[in-house]
Structure formats: structure tokens, C-alpha cells
Amino acid sequence: MLIKNNLPAEDTYVTVADDAPLPDGAVVVSLKRFRAERSDLLARNQKLGIVLDSDQSPEALGSDLDRLSLVVLEFPKFRDGRPFSWARILRTRLKFTGEIRARGDFLYDQIAFLKRVGVDAFELPPSITPELFARALTEMTNVYQPSADGRTTIVAMR
Amino acid sequence: MYRYDEFDARFVAERTEQFRFQVQRRLNGELTEDQFKPLRLMNGLYLQLHAYMLRIAVPYGTLSARQLRKLAEIARKYDKGYGHFTTRQNMQFNWPKLKDVPDILAELATVEMHCIQTSGNCIRNVTADHFAGAAADEIEDPRPVAELIRQWSSLHPEFSFLPRKFKIAVIAAPHDRAALRYHDAAVEIVKNDEGRTGYRVWVGGGMGRTPYLAYVVGDFVEKPDLLGFLEAIMRVYNENGRRDNIFKARIKILAHSIGEDEMRERVLREFQEIKTSGYLQVPDEERARIAAYFAPPDFERLTDEALPTDGDLGRWIVNNVTPHKQPGYAVATISLKPIGGVPGDISADQLDAVAQLMDDFGLTEIRASHEQNLVLPHVRQKDLPAVFARLQVLGLATPNAGLITDIICCPGLDYCDLANARSIPVAQEIAKRFADLDRQEDIGELKIKMSGCINACGHHHAGHIGILGVDKKGVEYYQLLLGGSAAEDASIGEIMGPGFGEHEIADAVERVVDVYLKLRRPGERFLDTYRRLGMEPFKNVAYGEQLHAAH
């Protein structure tokens, strides 16, 4: 199930394998395919998303980032914490305003962290219901450190 | 000492409930052990050989009497009546039950304690000089900086799933009592040429399988910039640290493979951006607010006394008491290394009694040191005889601080799932061998550090004499290392050669020490003599008659 901006949402993107033909409409492709077919993909004038593996920094996208409406951060396993920095860099350094989506092996217990670093969409596994998702965001009321979510920190509230 | 405000208190209370939910899901089978493991580790809960082990955070080693009493209560109620101080100034309990852990956390929260980030691949509980606020040589108390780092690193959203653990230490004196250069990152409070106080930031130290000493990555970081600078280091590490091999995942491997120049460049690039955006500047008021909690106690106007140097009291004063910056006061080390005891262990009754002693002598805080001892930082010199007498009754007056029997030792194979060999019995045997106090004092400063496996929790790389337990086909062997230091003259010990058997290692240590006594020049510590002469004269005698040194 897709959760976007804290609510269940319809997924309007189709993720397309590297060797599959492109359907009409919004698609998500790998960084590899994007590089190989860059001009064709941009010329479609449809919403475009790319998937970043956990070892692919969004900085590699350069100014092409402006042409993307979605970046999917893939968690190969939940212990791999690089996507947290990728999301943060996308929001804070690269000023990306499109959708950042978490996909793959992430845990309930990582949702609040992901939200803080700038992820606004989640492809939830069946074990995480929308109710649980909402609960994850209420566990810790306040935060000590600034992040991409712009929340007021404890230091600022004192 | 630091006191929680409403925000800190709520944070710890909610963290406790968060963990309770995690335990509940584990017990219900909703979380696999594989999923639960990093979650429980982030809250200090290990699965050991025989049971769970809970590691309680003692930020920068500072404790109040009230907190000691709570630890005593937990030791009695949920454990076997004792606890263990670790080389990171924390306290471990070895026998809690999983179902009890949330309740233990709730009890800890009532005295402003927790287990947050005492384990796991995150920024660990921060350590500091155990003489902070008392040492005559410090520029300022390092603990406000440590507290600032503690708060910033608590449940950091970006850096809670790092390639590997990340340990930070803070000192503010030229004499390093916190093993600065063996940390992933370290903050040294310094004054620049203009007399302004700021931070020298180190990166890339560590022990374990591949020991490295940290190097300087920030020569002089201005006070408001510290967290921004640390965040820059963390981001470089989170992005670039190796995740393909757990043994190469610490920042020391990254730091020493890309080298100082490249590391500086990457950190500075990140830091400049963070600084420009301005979001992680620490305002003066916040630093002042935290520092106020660490204001020195109201010292009486006293003058220095002539302290006894003979008899049992004199010995304890000579070995365990250190000068204080305030006239008429002293810093007293309570050794947790009784001859034949378990280094770092303390019973519930002793914890309670030390708390009572603190109350009776007006001592508001106590420290745990990375050398697994306790420190009373502000004792009136005129109270020293009475304090000593009380400690004697408690079995806590061993006058061996800094001497050869003041051994750092990990729990080893008696408790630990990772260990290859037992370490406690070996430490005990060596301590018994050198029990004679005249001999110990003649030998002088000699730091023995012992680990039961290459993970080096017992800091063997940094021992003047280091001992490493290894397993060879099911038999425990012990390697000897010489010449390590965790102080300001930091160095990594050199392995002597083949390992020694369980019943040979104490003999080998004794032979090495005897060679030192024979060859030393006046005023030379063991470490100095080793540095002057090298391994050869020690190696020549260490193996004695043993001709089987083929391990």
C-alpha cells in the first residue's frame, strides 16, 4: 500500500523494468535506464520518477533532478542507512520538492526517521497497516536535532 | 550535574514506551530476531552467552547518589545483586529477563537514566574525562560539550543506521584521560593563539581487529559550529563507510584509506554547506544553559593540607588521590580492582554504601572511569582519612590506581558471546601474582589491558602491556602486546609473537616486568623503557624455557 503525505493514496506511477517497453503515463525507471534513454524519457513530457539504489547518491543526477517528479529510495535491507542521507541531501542540499518515496526492506521503527529526513511517501509492506503507520509518527513527540522536516527542535522550544 | 527539563524527561519516557512496544512485538512474534536485533541494541540490550545483557548509559560517566541507589535496586530486583562498569563509563547488568527490560527502563527514567544508544550501529553514549571539573590541568569542564553531543545524537534521524558503531569522547586537558585517539571521533577543547576557546576535532581512531589512531580533521572549530562539524563527519561516514564487510565498516577504515587530506576536504565541504544554511548553530544561550548545570559545587575556602604518605592511609593517598584545582580539595579514585576480584564489578550493597558515603560527606556526584574505577571528584582533603576508613570497610579501598593490578578487562568468555577466551581468570591470576604492594609501587605506572577477543573491549592495543585472548582449535591462548598507550602519547601496542597458554601468560608478564626492573633508567615508566629499548630484550625472556611456542 502506498501512503503519501500520511494518507493512503493511489499509486499513479508504474515501475518499469530496464528491458520492458514503456507504457503510457507516469513511469519510474532505474538510474541506469534513465542514463541510457535520457533524452527519450524527458521528451515524453509525462511524469517521471527514478529509483536510486542505496549506493547511488542523488548528487549524480545533477540538474536533471529538476525534470523528475519522484525519487524512489530503495532499501535493499533495513540496516543499510544510506537512503536516510540521500533523502536529506535531496531536500536540504538539492532543494528537491517532488515526491521522495521509501521502497523495499524498511521497518515500522524507521518510519519516523524517514519522515524526518524528507521522505513523504512509503510503499508499505502488508505488516504495516495505515493505523500502525500513523502510530509510528506519534511515538516521540519532540526532537533534539533539526532535519529536513523543519520541525521545531527542543533547543528552540526551551 | 545535568538535570532533565520537561523535554528531556518526556523524551526518555516516550523512548521507554517505544521500546516496550518493540519488545511486545518481538514477544508476539511480529518482529523476527533479525529485525529486533538492531532495535534492541540501540537500546543497550545484547543477547549474550547465557542471558540478555543490559547496558545502561552513564553519560560522560557522571552519577548522583540517587542514581547509584537506583542501580543497586535494579541489581537486586532484576539481576544477581551486582553490576559491572565498562570501559565506556557505562554499567552493565548480565542477567535481566527480556520481559522485565521495559520495567527496568521505566525505573531508570525516574532517576533520569536510560539505555539509549549504548550499543548498535549508531552514535554511542558519549564519554569524557573522568576528572572533568576537578582536574588542575583542564581549560574548562568538557561535560557541557558532551551533553550537547548527547542530545544532538539522541535518536538522530539520519545517523541511526550507520555502517557500524560510532564512539565520541570529549576532553579539555593536555593530559588525555579518555583515550581520545582511539575514538571514531573526538573533541579536544583547546585555546587558540588569540586565547579563544574552541575545538580540535579528531577522526578515525579505533581498536578492534585493525587498530588505528585518530588524526586531526578540524584544527580549530568555533564553539557554535561544533554540531555542524560533527554532522558533516557523520554524513561523510554514512555515505562512504563500507557496508560490505563488518570488519571494515568503522570510520577508521574509511579515514585511513582515503587519507587525511581527502577526509578533510570531504568534511569541510559538508561543513561549509551546513554552516551556510545555519540550521545547526548552537546559540550561546543554549551552551550557557547546559554549562550552568555543570557549575562547580560551592567550594569552601580551604588551604591544602599536608597529607599522610605512610601507613595504609598514606599508601591509598599516594596511589589513589590526585591533586584538585581547588585548594584543600582532592580527587579520589575508588578502585574496583580488588586483588582476585572481577575488574569493574560492584555489588548492590557497595553501590548503596557508596551513595551513603557521598551523602555523608556532601559529595553530590561520582564518576565512572573508562579504566573501570569510580572517582570522587571533589573530596575535602581533611575528609580523606574518614572516606578511606569507610571504603576499607566496604572492600573498596584497594590502593592500586594506575598500578599493575589496576587491570582493564572485558567480561570475556565467562559472559560474552563474542569472546574467544576467558579474560577475568587471567586478570585475577596476574593481580594475585603482583599483589604485593611494595612490588607494585616499585614497578610504578603500568597499565595492563586485557581483551578476550579481537573486538578489544578491554583495550589491549592501548595497554602498556596488552593481552589478547585467542582460540586455537578449541584451546585458549593469550597474545602479549607491548608499548600501547591511550594517553596523550598514544600508541598501538606491538604483538610480541606466538601466544602463551592459559597457565603461562602470568609467568610471561612477570618475566617482562622483571626485565623492565633490571633495565630501566631512573624515572622511567615501563612504557618509556620499552620505547627506548624496543621488543627484543622483553621477547628474549618472555618465553622462558617454553620451547613449544609454535602457536
Beta carbons of B11 and A139 less than 8 Å apart? no
Which residues of chain A register pLDDT less than 70? Answer: none
Residue type, A93: R
pLDDT tens digits in sequence order for chain B, 551 residues long: 899 999 999 999 999 999 999 999 999 999 999 999 999 999 999 987 778 999 999 999 999 999 999 999 999 999 999 999 999 999 999 999 999 999 999 999 999 999 999 999 999 999 999 999 999 899 999 999 999 999 999 999 999 999 999 999 999 999 999 999 999 999 999 999 999 999 999 999 999 999 999 999 999 999 999 999 999 999 999 999 999 999 999 999 999 999 999 999 999 999 999 999 888 999 999 999 999 999 999 999 999 999 999 999 999 999 999 999 999 999 999 999 999 999 999 999 999 999 999 999 999 999 999 999 999 999 999 999 999 999 999 999 999 999 999 999 999 998 888 899 999 999 999 999 999 999 999 999 999 999 999 999 999 999 999 999 999 999 999 999 999 999 999 999 999 999 999 999 999 999 999 999 999 999 999 999 999 999 999 999 999 865 444 44
Q: How far apart are CA B29 and CA B105, in angstroms?
A: 22
Nearest residue of B to residue A56, measured between CA atoms: B239
CA distance, residue B88 to nearest chain A CA (Å) = 23
Q: What pLDDT was estimated at residue A84?
A: 98
Mutate to test the interface with A, among B31, B37, B161, B254 (most CBs of A within 10 A): B161
* Residue A144 belongs to domain spanning: 2-157
Would you say B416 and B49 are in contact if contact means Cβ atoms under 8 Å apart? Answer: yes
Could you tell me which CATH class the domain B6-109 is placed in? Answer: alpha beta
Q: How far is CA B164 from CA B249, B255, B463, in A?
A: 6, 14, 24
Would you say B57 and B90 are in contact if contact means Cβ atoms under 8 Å apart? Answer: yes
Q: What pLDDT was estimated at residue B417?
A: 83
Nearest residue of B to residue A136, measured between CA atoms: B18
Would you say B287 and A158 are in contact if contact means Cβ atoms under 8 Å apart? Answer: no
User: Under 8 Å CB-to-CB from A90, ≥6 apart: which residues?
Assistant: A58, A65, A71, A96, A100, A118
- Count helices and strands (H / E) in chain A: 6, 8
Beta carbons of A92 and B39 less than 8 Å apart? no
Query: Which residues does A contribute to its contact with B (CB < 8 Å)?
Result: 57, 78-82, 84-85, 88, 92-93, 107, 109-110, 112-114, 116-117, 127, 139-147, 154-155, 157-158
CATH number, domain B311-394, options 3.40.50.1460, 3.90.480.20, 3.90.550.10, 3.30.70.360: 3.90.480.20
CATH superfamily placement of domain B142-287: Sulfite Reductase Hemoprotein, domain 1 (3.30.413.10)
Beta carbons of A144 and B155 less than 8 Å apart? yes
Q: What is the total count of domains within chain A?
A: 1
Angle B520-B521-B527 from CA coordinates, rounded to 5° = 55
Q: What pLDDT was estimated at residue B546?
A: 57
Helix boundaries (H) for B335-434 = 348-360, 384-394, 424-433
CATH number, domain B408-542, options 3.30.413.10, 3.90.1560.10, 3.40.50.970, 3.40.50.20: 3.30.413.10
How much of chain A, in percent, has pLDDT values that exceed 90? Answer: 98
Mutate to test the interface with B, among A75, A78, A79 (most CBs of B within 10 A): A79
Identical fold, B6-109 and B408-542: no
What CATH number is associated with residue A7? 3.20.20.70
Instruction: Please list the residues that pair with B202 across neighbouring strands.
Output: B186, B216
Query: Which residues does B contribute to its contact with A (CB < 8 Å)?
Result: 5, 7-8, 10-11, 14-15, 17-18, 21-22, 30, 35, 38-39, 121, 151-163, 227, 235, 238-239, 243, 273, 277, 279-280, 282-283, 286, 289
DSSP assignments along A100-127, one per residue: EEEEES--GGGHHHHHHHT--EEE--TT
